[in-house]
Structure 1
């Protein structure tokens, strides 16, 4: 596809600028790819593990080995990897409901969580089965102006009833840095010094394989994520995972199925092969997406737009935020990403009232897996400040095409 001379010039400058950063990303890809392969080898993964199961799914060895491989990859005692998780929100909710009981306190120390979790937290007596409806108290500690944890406020907020401290690794719909694994480790150590028996839970969505370590390797007790994001490798058709301390993973499994049943049953419905293969591909594909985010930041920074993170900042998730000056800019950018898709490129996304969100949202999602945000996608709530959140891209080449097409859309509408 040809772009005009101005866009081609911006592309060339951006690519020259980010060459050293891309080499750093390649080193992370290699480390994580080899780590995944070692886990496969350790557990002697074979093609018979890919066989499906039916009914109760008793003695499904492929399912059991998949859990073991995930646990090793994430440096955890145990893992629960299932197609029965319908989304990241479902997986996170399952983990939280699994370990919390009436009278406990859930404390978020990274501010307001992602929009879709608001209904999971709920309000006291809301009648919808939310956490607070079950008598679980919820509190949150706002981040400081620079996006850092407010440690004195966290210390004041922890009480004898604090059962779970929650950390959201990714920025969500907010203009703040995502937290590196090192920073998460600092938070874990801080809260454990105050209350040693507190359970530290990390929403790991968008973060897997962007660094060489995961939160469970720096003391997090429980993490959760979605297989239509990073660890599914663009192949897993659905599902999620919970990983961490064995006793907490077991409690989550009782919430997913029923007490006394847990993870011992559950037919995999023909998904086992795609989950193994997706995990195998995930380190490389995550690296491709991270490269695309770096390119997007470098390109739009040349045009005077703010990006977060900046192109040369450390990366700990897939998400690239770009701040625009109007809803028109925001909409044009997202529509340009859609136009560059291999699937549904002819569709023009418009803002709509999406379930689970508090403002109209526009989403570009020309994906092979519905909602698969390891694939090139972009979305934004239509509210000030006008920030577009781009993520994913199974190939770096597709990421570049999406960003350049979005730029072309802005120019065509006279917005640049």
Structure 2
């Protein structure tokens, strides 16, 4: 395989990089502020290599595990955190957060439309699977978004219901066509909910958004945030895991859901992952910046070719996900195959559309990642239906991300015959 790009692509890439230069500067400023906050927390908690030792069995008195959770809490500006390899994915952490916020007879109200596909089973939307909201007598309701943004008037009316004990906010667009919320918008929602329903908790799905801003939702009024370590906060090094962070009582309830009441956060052997968790979190602001710079370059390059890309410039950098509508299945496939060919792992594999469980249409996925499913590593995927949208995210380094994107665009140009 060669990275010999056409002269036309090289010229387009130079032009795109020039257009993205202002975004790069803004991204670097956020990264610097977040890195300073992380570095300060490491120093304040006197991190030493003794915290990298593994624990086995029950995992009692794992000082490294417990200290890392204190660091997360400080960085995220909250009372407590639970950072565990026992969370199998971000949805698992979010589900524990949901059950920490509501109990039988109470309602969880989503302010950002329906929850992500993997959480719809939790909220009881996919039938009697066992262990869902329906089994526990918990109600789930939602306020649809208006033109891709929260419907504040409807939220004010619905959130005031005394039966609503918690509200749910999905920070990122995820794999939908809505807008990603800014920290200021999340803060406005928190203030609104706490004003009309002072006893209600605000729970935020923070996936894809950590370190994209100098603040996190817990800095602006969120009671609990949840996320995945194989996305932003793991810095590309965490091999698994998730976290919850926020009010101490809610974190303790989430720990009871992850393990069991009476054990909570006291158990949980780390089996040698502490070093990767610490180092990944330390690198996370920089790694997220690399992904955001890759996204800025990719969007600028695809705009040069006339494609419809999101987010728009005025909402760029709110999370690590960006999209392009190709309008034809062959173009979507060509782009994803180029992403795969430009990956460090499994570059020899050719992605094909397939019948992925849980999806109505065939899906094509490209991800040559060191960590399976790691969204912080460059990847692209999309459903084989109009407008044939690729959802793109990640990039451990800007240099490798740029090359991967150029490989994908070269594949696209070859498909188009131009």
On whether the aligned pair clears a TM of 0.5, the verdict is yes
CA deviations on 1:39-70 (whole Å, 9 max, x unpaired) are: 00111010001111111111111111010000
Q: Which is worse superposed, 178-187 or 134-143?
A: 134-143
Distance in structure 1 (CA, Å) of the matches to 2:77 and 2:341: 40
The partner residue of 1:56 within 48, 58, 63 is 58
Tell me which residue corresponds to 2:340: 338
CA positional deviation for 1:251: 0.3
Match of 1:157 in 2: 158
Contact map agreement 1:222 1:243 (CA 8 A) in 2:
yes
Counterpart position of 2:174: 172
| Counterpart selection for 1:379 from 373, 381, 388 | 381
Aligned length: 415
Partner of 2:101: 99
Question: What's the RMSD between the two structures over aligned residues?
Answer: 1.5
Map of 2:117 onto structure 1: 115
Contact kept, 8 Å, 2:121 with 2:129, in 1: the verdict is no
Q: Map 1:203-222 onto structure 2 (within 5 A).
A: 203-222=205-224
Change (3 A) 1:225 1:163: same
Deviates more, 1:365-374 or 1:150-159: 150-159
Distance 1:240 1:30 in 2: 24
The 2-side partners of 1:107 and 1:229 are apart by 25
Tell me if structure 2 keeps the 8 A contact 1:375–1:391.
yes
Q: Normalization by structure 2: what TM-score?
A: 0.96
Any residues of structure 2 matched to 1:229-268 within 5 Å, and which?
229-268=231-270
How far is 1:310 from its partner?
A: 2.7
Matched, 1:309 2:308: no
Partner of 2:87 in structure 1?
85
Deviation at 1:353, TM superposition (A): 3.4
Which segment drifts farther, 226-235 or 169-178?
169-178
3-state SS of the aligned residue for 1:284?
helix
Distance 1:415 1:100 in 2: 56
CA distance in 2 between partners of 1:183 and 1:167 (Å): 11
Query: Where does residue 389 of structure 1 map in the other structure?
Result: 391
Q: Distance in 2 between matches of 1:367 and 1:127?
A: 32
Query: In the alignment, is the contact (CA less than 8 A) between 2:353 and 2:384 conserved in 1?
Result: yes
Aligned to 1:134: 136
Q: Is contact 2:331-2:415 (8 Å) kept?
A: no
Measured against aligned partners, the alpha-carbon deviations of 1:157-186 in whole angstroms (never above 9, x if no partner) come to 222111110000110122222111111000
Distance in 2 between the 1:125 and 1:144 partners?
28
Corresponding residue SS for 1:262: coil
Q: SS in structure 2 opposite 1:276?
A: helix
- Partners of 2:380 and 2:258 in 1: how far apart? 30
Provide the residue aligned with 2:15 in structure 1. Answer: 13
Q: How far apart, CA to CA, are the structure 1 residues paired with 2:127 and 2:173?
A: 29
Decide which of 401, 409, 414 is 1:412's aligned counterpart: 414
Q: CA deviation at 1:291?
A: 0.2
Distance 1:12 1:321 in 2: 21
Q: TM-score, structure 1 length as denominator?
A: 0.96
Mapped to 2, the partners of 1:124 and 1:386 lie a distance apart of: 26
